[in-house]
With several copies, the nearest count.
Chain A
Amino acid sequence: MTDEVLGIFKTISEEVVPQADTLRELDAKIGDGDLGITVTRGMEAVIAGLKELEGTPVSNQLARSGMAFNRAAASTFGVLFATAMMRGGAAVKDREDVGASDVAAIGQAAMKGLMDRGKAKIGDKTLLDALAPAIEAFDKANAAGKSLREATGAAVAACETGTTATIEMQSRVSRAGWMGERSIGVQDPGATAVLFMLQAAQSWVNANSEPQTNGGL
């Protein structure tokens, strides 16, 4: 896995940008309505930078893409995306060969980074509530020897459940936190963005991996 990262980013861009308006609408309800623009501009910047990342280590590809996203579309989501990519990348630093089994370590490092940066807890109605169960499900499937495709499927399913669960939550942090009880009833926009991204990653995995094989892609 070297330029696979780039392929995944391309797929994320292709599949998530068309859903930007859904994100804008959700963010307009309990935030400030910019998340659709953020994801669009951020992913455009990632894609624009991919060419010169070709063939470089995964850690660099992740970190540089994260920073490109935030520079073009800095925001809560942007800086969290950058943090996740930088910390995730750091987990496989200097490694030439990154395989599916490293995805778990990347995910955990990213989670830790997000919690350091945003100081939110699970249940605060943020993207953590979508990402944490996804990473956990992936780890579990991976540890149980499932294929990348199966582990990804489990992660996306858990992410969906986690994202849906944010609807009933009351936000306790950041912008939506100011709404208090009025934040209940709306699916968290950041969680939804994470879900869309993981769904896109899954599309890529399904198109590029063997149904049953574990290990390399």
Chain B
Amino acid sequence: MAMRKIINDPSLVEDQTVAGILAAFPDHLKRVEGSTRALIRADAPVAGKVGIATGGGSGHLPLFLGYVGQGLATGCCVGNVFSSPSAEDMLDVTKAIDSGAGVLYLYGNYSGDTMNFDMASEMAEMEDIIVKTTLGRDDVTSAPNEEMERRRGVAGIVFGFKIAGAAAEEGRDLDSVHAVAEKAVFNTRSMGVALSGTTIPAAGQPGFEVAEGQMELGMGIHGEPGVEIGPLLTADEIAGQMLDRILPDLPFSSGDAAAVLVNSLGATAPEELYILYNKASQILGDRGIKVHRAFIGEYATSMEMSGASISICKLDDELISLLDAPAYSPLLSQQLGR
């Protein structure tokens, strides 16, 4: 079983990752007592403020643990690689971050996560904690526009964390934080392309393969298939195809302001992301869409998967001010505030 991975026992990958994060940033994060997989801001619960809980499978760093911080999410739990955390861990996080102002669940639309978060929110309600939920469902290739509620979440949820996190930090109430999270998530559309699969450590062999010289257009971050598999196109062609699907979907129109996120799925180098962005920014310019801010780097990965995604979030004045508010996490690819 040969994998190109620097790990110990494959079944310890998740716990040792969490332990390493805690060892690296002890002033920033703390563990929820009794759980190896649930971490919260060192200063949580934050008095008077809405808590934001997120979570999902391991293997996506800096998603999800990297988005816990000031002006971002308040707490998080992670499951095994590419698997949901448990409802029990979610409940533990919920209780640990609730200051009485209620908790927003903000995570990606995957059945394991939704079913576990739903179970957690039922349990939280029994303990008198008010919970609202916002689902990231930005991947335009995962279902047609009319079936948006089936779409999966990919890197675009980053805008949700930033915007909802800033709203919570401002001291808004749960309804208001939830409303702006919904707006951020709704205004965001993404598409990815994968040039290779990835290997779950405990499985030891790639769950998915993409032959060299091929690419999967629209592949999800766990290797879920996309719209088509075909020969690897040039960066300019890829950027073009992505924007051709993303822009009409909301739609984004001339005069709109937008934030753009070019994300590496893991192995794809920063150089390639800038080459993609170079073309994307030209296309957006040609269409009259103004880039308020660009984020380029690793924001949501699939371990060593090769590939990239582009996410675009349409901004209004409220979203701009929340996007530009300060935020801090030592795990992030690029600080999200100014």
Contacts and interface: CB of A to CB of B under 8 A. Distances in A.
Contact of A76 (B84, B200, B223): B84
A180 to B, nearest CB: 9
A74 B112 contact: yes
Contacts, number: 109
B80 A73 contact: yes
Contacts of B208: 28, 33
The majority secondary structure among interface residues of chain B is loop
Contact of A117 (B11, B83, B119): B119
B116 A74 contact: yes
Nearest to B86: A74
A76 B87 CA distance: 11
B93 to A, nearest CB: 13
A57 interface: no
B88 interface: yes
A178 to B, nearest CB: 5
Interface size class of B (residues with CB under 8 A): 20 to 34
B111 interface: yes
A49 interface: no
B222 A32 contact: yes
Contacts of A71: 86, 88-89
Nearest to B229: A182
Contacts of A79: 84, 86-87, 112, 115-116, 119
Nearest to B84: A74
Contacts of A177: 143, 150
Interface in A176-198: 177-179, 182
26 contacts: A32-B222, A32-B223, A33-B200, A34-B200, A37-B80, A38-B83, A41-B80, A70-B88, A70-B116, A73-B80, A74-B80, A74-B83, A74-B112, A75-B79, A75-B83, A75-B84, A78-B112, A79-B86, A79-B87, A79-B112, A79-B119, A117-B119, A173-B111, A175-B110, A178-B143, A178-B224
Given A33-B208, A34-B200, A76-B112, 9 more contacts: A33-B203, A33-B223, A34-B80, A37-B202, A70-B87, A74-B89, A174-B111, A177-B143, A179-B225
